[in-house]
Amino acid sequence: MSKTKKIIILTLIGIVCAAGLYFTWKVVFGTPIEEVPIDAGGISTLPNNSGGGGVNTGSATENNNGENGDTLPPEAQGDSLPTLEKLSDQEVGYFWVNKKTNEIFYTDLGGDIYLAKTGEDQKMSPQAVGTIYSLLPNQTGEKILASFGEKNSPQLGIFDVVDKTWRPLSSDTLSAVWGSSDKKLFGIIKNGNKKDLVEINIEKAQPAYKTLLKDFVLNDVSLSIIPTDRILISEKSSSFYSPRMWEFNPKDTSLSLVVQGERGGILGFSKDEKNVLFSVPSKKQLGVISNSLKTTTYADFFTIPDKCDVFASTTYCFVPQEQNDYIGFFDLYQQKKIFTTDTLMKFNLSTKEIGVLSASGALSYKTDAGGVVFFENYIYFKNRFDNILYGLNISKEI
């Protein structure tokens, strides 16, 4: 055999051996898989921003993919997919709708009030009042009742969006809510070393107080009003105890239990305050009490009342994709130690049917909704990932 033939044969043998080793390696070891960390309890933490994500403010249907290349569900694909509209120029503390003018107002993180507009948003308040800790619009949205200032001793005041003025309430007023009209409040006031539950007439420049219940002993509670000025008193939610909600009737001063929650459960209201919402972590359910507290209906998904609103017989909710019954969920959520990835769903109170809105396809994978409001075929919410106010038209799905 010539030297040249020997070289060719050895070369071919070497190629065959190399190929055999390569395919053996693939079979035995396979292709490396990127490690995906899983956090405890199945609850989402703040996603990595390295993918250039952010909230989608345009069409989410381009190439049938989300902004980060995630394939949208089939019902979310197509030309009819709604667009997620960015409504605020800056980070938002609270927001509300003026139902007479269909205008959207919000507070920034410093306590100034703005009107959301096409183009630059318009500042409405004469001065900032500092951090706002709570905000409640009246029935029309032309006035708000807010607490602000020092965290340990906040001041309460009323802002009128028409005349753009703040009207402070007495420093003895610890908390308050709107009554059946914007001329009446119900609240808790200091009375020496004790507290009283009162009705406050604010029709005149000097408020008039009527005591409804002396020596009000409940602490860490919030008030709400349902039709005919019946007062709901709710304990704050916590993983340490089971919150309760009572109805107080000012006419006969009777007190009756409405909801006996469970540890980690959350109590809340629809934005029109006609429906009570409460979460049931152990059963992964949301309860809705409607029809003047006569009817209770349960949806088989777990979410937070602040992620929901009710219109007619339909409850609209942003539901965390991570369904869990972790008892400390609300505490961690309030502290922003955890975030959720939400899907927009609707729940029919009459038929108990649950459906996913195709409008969910317009949401970014980083949507953690709060302060949800339904008005005139729109869902409004603040995204906790960026604190920006958004709107989503769902007129085709009502």
Q: Is residue 130 part of a domain?
A: no
First CA to last CA across the chain, in angstroms?
A: 86
Average pLDDT estimate for 308-315: 94
Q: Is residue 82 part of a domain?
A: yes
Who has greater pLDDT, 198 or 205?
A: 198
Q: Do residues 94 and 111 make contact, with C-beta atoms less than 8 angstroms apart?
A: no
Instruction: Report phi then psi at 158, rounded to 5.
Output: -115, 130
How confident is the model over 291-305, as pLDDT tens digits? 889 899 999 999 999
**This prediction's pTM:** 0.79
In the chain, how many domains are there?
A: 1
- pLDDT band for position 321 (cuts 50, 70, 90): confident
Average pLDDT estimate for 322-342: 81
Q: Answer left, alpha or beta for residue 359, where phi above 0 means left and psi between -120 and 50 means alpha.
A: alpha
Please tell me the predicted confidence (pLDDT) of residue 1. 56
Residue 199 vs residues 170, 224, 231: alpha-carbon distances, Å? 13, 13, 11
Q: Do residues 104 and 114 make contact, with C-beta atoms less than 8 angstroms apart?
A: no
Q: Is residue 191 part of a domain?
A: no
Beta bridge partners of 106: 95, 114
How confident is the model over 207-237, as pLDDT tens digits? 999 999 999 998 889 999 987 788 999 998 8
How confident is the model over 118-168, as pLDDT tens digits? 999 999 999 899 999 999 999 999 999 999 998 888 999 999 999 999 999
Asked if the model's pLDDT at residue 346 lies above 70, the reply is yes
Count CB-CB contacts under 10 A for residue 152.
Answer: 5
CA dist 178 and 137 (Å) reads: 8
Q: Could you list the residue range(s) of the whole structural domain that residue 287 is in?
A: 60-89+266-398
Please tell me the predicted confidence (pLDDT) of residue 325. 55
Q: Is residue 147 part of a domain?
A: no
Q: Is residue 179 part of a domain?
A: no
Instruction: Report phi then psi at 31, rounded to 5.
Output: -90, 130
Q: Is residue 339 part of a domain?
A: yes
CA dist 288 and 272 (Å) reads: 14
Count CB-CB contacts under 10 A for residue 291.
Answer: 11
Residue 112 vs residues 22, 91, 146, 369: alpha-carbon distances, Å? 66, 11, 12, 22
Nearest of 155, 145, 154, 221 to residue 183 by alpha carbon:
145
Please tell me the predicted confidence (pLDDT) of residue 152. 87
Asked if the model's pLDDT at residue 330 lies above 50, the reply is yes
Please tell me the predicted confidence (pLDDT) of residue 25. 38
How confident is the model over 236-266, as pLDDT tens digits? 888 888 999 999 988 888 889 999 999 888 9
Query: Sheet containing 285-290: which strands, arranged edge to edge?
Result: 267-269, 276-280, 285-290, 295-299
Asked if the model's pLDDT at residue 106 lies above 60, the reply is yes
Who has greater pLDDT, 297 or 10?
A: 297
H-helix or E-strand containing 372?
strand 369-375
Q: Is residue 53 part of a domain?
A: no
Q: What CATH number has the domain bearing residue 278?
A: 2.40.128
- pLDDT band for position 15 (cuts 50, 70, 90): low
Q: Is residue 370 part of a domain?
A: yes
How confident is the model over 156-185, as pLDDT tens digits? 999 999 999 999 999 999 999 999 889 999
Please tell me the predicted confidence (pLDDT) of residue 19. 53
